[in-house]
A and B are shown apart, each in its own frame.
Chain A
């Protein structure tokens, strides 16, 4: 028998178990090395800044396909999981606004351009003028007008003077004014006798009376001070 052939056959028989034993030894050795290794200490010894400076970030980013990543992200699903209310609660709006330079913001806004884009006619068309007028208390508004000042400062006086009558009208005003003054005097005297407040002549019949009296002397609109007694007294 050829001695080389015999050695080859012996080698072929011994190789697998030896190889398995060698792998087991190597695995054990690696395990022992790793367990004895101080990773934190190792990391501390690594100069990360130097490492990062050697990395070409731009080249790295160029190799990343952002669009493909975004395509794989389901934004709606993410937003569904976000509690917006809780997020807003955590935001300190005062602090945010304090950091905003409102003046600068306003300076950047072109009001004229905004105004030109507004369809004022369209807005006016949409406004229900009748409803607006209904909500305005014209009596109250009229009470606020200082007629004396208005007449003195405007040409209204001359217009009124031109449209009014002359001496006869003035005479009528005097006569009527005197009569009404005496009416009021009598009414005040009677009210004083009856120990009741007098806020002007009662009425008008069938409608609310314009509010000309102080609030503490107000009575229900259209109701005379002693309305229920009217029939009996008359």
Chain B
């Protein structure tokens, strides 16, 4: 996977790489962007579900449910949904939708697949990394194994699962 920014200009073809970073610890930006995408996905799905509930209630009962977006039940529902989304995704194949998009994956500390228990623990520990202005994420930038606080607690790590060499071959084959 390339490390050169000049290979990734918008006008240029897909970035190409001399070496594949597949299997190596993922960096902060890839992980952060994948989280942002996940946040958008779970929020969008949650809002769609709320809208569906509102629409169904209105059609079936004629009542107009007024969801207060700052309400405690909505917040609890959102947190539960987020927990299910992350825990299930990580437990199933180590990837959420955002992680799949950015080619990163959660694995065990020894490189094996994450089990359901570790996935649940990682999800529960995830908010702890946000405490103290996101101090728990500094390990991704400065740590030797690029692990955040919730990674250390759950015994996991995040790696690149994207085969940059294959992307390079695809690029070369079309040029």
Interface residues of A (CB under 8 A from B): 147-148, 151-152, 156-161, 164, 169-170, 172-188, 190, 200-207, 209-210, 212, 224-231, 233-234
- Which residues of chain B are within 8 angstroms of A210 by Cβ–Cβ distance? 19
Given A176-B102, A234-B139, A147:B24 Cβ within 8 A: no
B residues 100-132 in Cβ contact with A at 8 Å: 101-103, 107-112
* A/B pair count, beta carbons within 8 Å: 187
Contact of A230 among B103, B143, B162, B168 (CB under 8 A): B143
Asked if B51 is at the interface (CB within 8 A of a chain A CB), the reply is no
- Which residues of chain A are within 8 angstroms of B138 by Cβ–Cβ distance? 233
Contact of B30 among A180, A207, A227 (CB under 8 A): A180
Chain B contact patch, size range: 35 or more
Q: Are A200 and B103 in contact, CB atoms less than 8 angstroms apart?
A: no
Given A170-B14, A206-B110, A176:B162 Cβ within 8 A: yes
Asked if B95 is at the interface (CB within 8 A of a chain A CB), the reply is no
Chain A residue with minimal CB distance to B20?
A210
In Å, the complex CA distance between A172 and B10 comes to 13
Contact of B168 among A147, A161, A204, A231 (CB under 8 A): A147
Given contacts A159-B173, A230-B144, 6 further A-B contacts (CB under 8 A): A157-B169, A181-B5, A184-B3, A200-B19, A204-B25, A205-B157
Given A174-B15, A184-B3, A233-B138, A203:B23 Cβ within 8 A: yes
Q: State the Cβ distance, B103 to closest chain A Cβ, in Å.
A: 4
Asked if B4 is at the interface (CB within 8 A of a chain A CB), the reply is yes
Q: State the Cβ distance, B140 to closest chain A Cβ, in Å.
A: 8
Given A175-B102, A176-B103, A186:B152 Cβ within 8 A: no
Q: Are A202 and B14 in contact, CB atoms less than 8 angstroms apart?
A: no
Q: State the Cβ distance, A223 to closest chain B Cβ, in Å.
A: 9
- Which residues of chain B are within 8 angstroms of A201 by Cβ–Cβ distance? 21, 24-27, 146, 160
Q: State the Cβ distance, A188 to closest chain B Cβ, in Å.
A: 8
In Å, the complex CA distance between A78 and B3 comes to 78
